[in-house]
């Protein structure tokens, strides 16, 4: 029997983790059970008050987020605000698989962390994006996992084959449209339906978004010559509940054709269960990945300007957060990587 606990169980990330766990074959067979569900302002409530869609767990009580309540679980998911994971992780034993959905342990550079987050760097854990070369080997032997940010997941998957093959380096432009659930489950005027419906607005532009160094780190880490990248990242809040549509552009060597790039991407992702490279000329739709752990990709080349244009679509709460966390858990526990992770969206 393997037991899990979820800290931050009533937030969007926490409830999405629980949705996936309820559909996991190990849970359905009795091999996996749910230990503690913890929160902050929801302590003492029943989970059904905050996540009525999780019917099997509706009567579970929300406990305080303390190390004492989380101890005893084999796997602890931390779905907490940035800066809260470090002390909890230290209090949990080295045999506990701790999977952090916040940013606390993603960055390798202490100076970048301090610049973007304004606090002391807590350290670096193995990165929970298995599609990055070498990541699976690290995840298979660790008891600490840093789940990527939602924007870096979509952007990294969009650019990974091009960076890994050395086709791109230097300046890269990334623009991502995101659903409002990416801001978390909180009351704020700018996220009200009346404010977001029929509107779209960019925010944290010109290098100010905290995910910028994470995208840069991922691309520089796979380039065969260690070339540096200068990422210009623009997030855009869009009138949808969930999903991220990313468009990434970068200069290509002269003479690079669309057929060459398409072949590079198809070969790189040929064995990846959660990345689907669309045929040339077809663009991804967010609605086709909502609720799934999939990333749909489209590759194009502007041959007049030798510019790569890649579009990716993910669900920010599934592949971008909770799905990546469960995928990493499966690898770390030696289970089938795809277990409990949906690949088919509802339509229409």
Which of the residues are catalytic? Answer: 150
| Averaged confidence pLDDT in the chain | 95
pTM, to two decimals: 0.95
Q: What CATH homologous superfamily does 151-314 map to?
A: Dihydrodipicolinate Reductase; domain 2 (3.30.360.10)
Binning pLDDT at 50, 70 and 90, where does residue 269 land? Answer: very high
- pLDDT tens digits for 57-101? 999 999 999 999 999 999 999 999 988 898 899 999 899 999 999
Binning pLDDT at 50, 70 and 90, where does residue 226 land? Answer: confident
The two three-digit tokens of residue 26, written as one number: 């190990």
The two three-digit tokens of residue 165, written as one number: 């093959």
pLDDT at 308: 98
State the fold for domain 2-148+321-333: Rossmann fold (3.40.50)
Q: Where are the beta strands (DSSP E) in the chain?
A: 2-7, 32-39, 63-64, 75-78, 97-100, 144-146, 170-178, 201-202, 229-237, 244-251, 275-277, 295-302, 307-314
Which sequence spans correspond to the domains of the chain? 2-148+321-333, 151-314
Q: What are phi and psi of 302, to 5 degrees?
A: -85, 95
């Amino acid at each position: 029997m393997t037991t899990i606990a979820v800290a931050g169980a009533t937030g969007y990330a926490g409830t999405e983790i629980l949705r996936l766990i309820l559909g996991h074959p190990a849970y359905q067979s009795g091999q996996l059970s749910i230990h503690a569900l913890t929160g902050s302002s929801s302590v003492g409530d029943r989970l059904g008050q905050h996540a009525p869609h999780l019917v099997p767990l509706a009567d579970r009580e929300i406990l305080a987020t303390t190390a004492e309540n989380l101890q005893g679980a084999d796997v602890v998911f931390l779905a907490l605000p940035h800066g809260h994971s470090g002390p909890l992780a230290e209090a949990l034993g080295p045999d506990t698989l701790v999977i952090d959905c916040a940013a606390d342990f993603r960055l390798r550079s202490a100076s970048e962390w301090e610049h973007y987050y304004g606090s002391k760097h807590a350290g670096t854990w193995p990165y929970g994006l298995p599609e990055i070369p070498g990541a699976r080997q690290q995840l298979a032997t660790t008891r600490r996992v840093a789940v990527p940010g939602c924007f870096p997941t979509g952007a990294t998957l969009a650019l990974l084959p091009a960076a890994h093959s050395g086709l791109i380096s230097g300046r890269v432009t990334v623009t991502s449209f995101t659903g409002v659930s990416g801001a978390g489950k909180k009351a704020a005027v700018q996220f009200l339906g009346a404010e977001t419906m029929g509107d779209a607005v960019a925010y944290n532009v010109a290098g100010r978004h905290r995910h910028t160094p994470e995208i840069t780190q991922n691309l520089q880490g796979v380039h065969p010559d260690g070339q540096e990248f200068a990422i210009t990242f623009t997030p855009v809040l869009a009138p949808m509940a969930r999903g991220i549509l990313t468009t990434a552009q970068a200069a290509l060597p002269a003479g690079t054709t669309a057929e060459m790039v398409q072949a590079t991407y198809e070969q790189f992702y040929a064995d990846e269960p959660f990345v689907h490279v669309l045929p040339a000329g077809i663009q991804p739709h967010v609605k086709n990945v909502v609720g799934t752990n999939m990333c749909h990709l489209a590759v194009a080349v502007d041959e007049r300007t030798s510019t790569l244009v890649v579009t990716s679509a993910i669900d920010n709460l599934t592949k971008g957060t909770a799905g990546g966390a469960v995928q990493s858990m499966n690898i770390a526990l030696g289970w089938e990587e795809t277990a409990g992770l949906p690949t088919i969206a509802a339509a229409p």
